[in-house]
């Protein structure tokens, strides 16, 4: 049974600023016809999953990933608070294969989390994609590690991306994800974590097991971004 927690975050928080003008829309139409937006057009995959702040598991976020492959070992994802047209860009995630993760310095590994539980439990899924097709892609994700920073703390009600980017983590066992978040997502997408979980049990995680330096919060100590004043290196004129 998942822990009790806050309900879904409202997507209707007011963002300050004047409404877009007709002239702005016309300019956007013109640039869209001329520029190619190649990096954006390379996005080929929409994943829905959940993150929590690396220093505070009680703050949990439904996160929509729009991902592209750089190669077979690296993918990069733009993170939004919803899949809607007016969604807020709230962060980024990089995913790497186990092979690349194992080459990282030990201090760097602490910033990354595993995906095995997310995938095998069914809580990470591709909205609208039939199960058999999802599973083909997620077999690879199950073996990867991810590094996530969120820039917009909309769960606090921030109407702009205030403060420092914060490291996020992902769940590793049952009972961590808030019940209300889980229920809301399953109802909206007519999707069952449990049904999909049963169909994914054949999948396997990292070949060498989940590295103990990943999922650093499991040590009982979270990671929180802070600013530190230091000497500024400048080019002499």
Q: How many CA atoms lie within 13 Å of 33's alpha carbon, on the beta-carbon side?
A: 5
Q: What is the pLDDT of residues 180-237, one digit of tens each?
A: 999 999 999 999 999 999 999 999 999 999 999 999 999 999 999 999 999 998 888 7
Provide the mean pLDDT of the chain.
91
Give the contacts of 37 (CB within 8 A, at least 6 positions apart).
Answer: none
Q: What is the pLDDT of residues 139-151, one digit of tens each?
A: 999 999 999 999 9
Q: What is the mean pLDDT of residues 7-22?
A: 61
Nearest C-alpha neighbor of 66 from the set 53, 47, 50, 51: 47
């Amino acid at each position: 049974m998942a822990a009790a927690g806050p309900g879904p975050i409202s997507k209707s928080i007011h963002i300050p600023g004047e409404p877009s003008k007709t002239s702005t829309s016309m300019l956007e139409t013109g640039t869209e016809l001329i520029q190619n937006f190649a990096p954006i057009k390379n996005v080929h995959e929409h994943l829905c999953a959940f993150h929590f702040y690396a220093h505070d598991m009680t703050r949990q976020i439904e996160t929509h990933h729009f991902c592209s492959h750089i190669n077979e070992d690296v993918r990069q994802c733009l993170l939004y608070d919803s899949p809607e047209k007016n969604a807020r860009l709230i962060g980024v995630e990089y995913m790497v294969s186990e092979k690349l993760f194992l080459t990282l310095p030990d201090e760097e590994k602490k910033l990354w989390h595993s995906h095995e539980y997310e995938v095998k439990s069914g809580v990470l899924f591709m909205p609208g994609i039939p199960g058999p097709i999802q599973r083909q892609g997620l077999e690879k994700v199950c073996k990867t590690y991810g590094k996530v920073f969120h820039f917009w703390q909309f769960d606090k009600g921030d109407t702009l991306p205030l403060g420092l980017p914060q490291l996020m983590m992902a769940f590793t066992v049952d009972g961590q994800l808030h019940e209300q978040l889980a229920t809301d997502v399953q109802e909206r997408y007519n999707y069952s974590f449990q049904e999909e979980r049963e169909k994914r049990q054949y999948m396997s995680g990292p070949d060498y097991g989940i590295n103990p330096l990943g999922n650093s919060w499991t040590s009982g100590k979270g990671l929180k971004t802070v600013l530190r004043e230091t000497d500024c290196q400048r080019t002499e004129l």
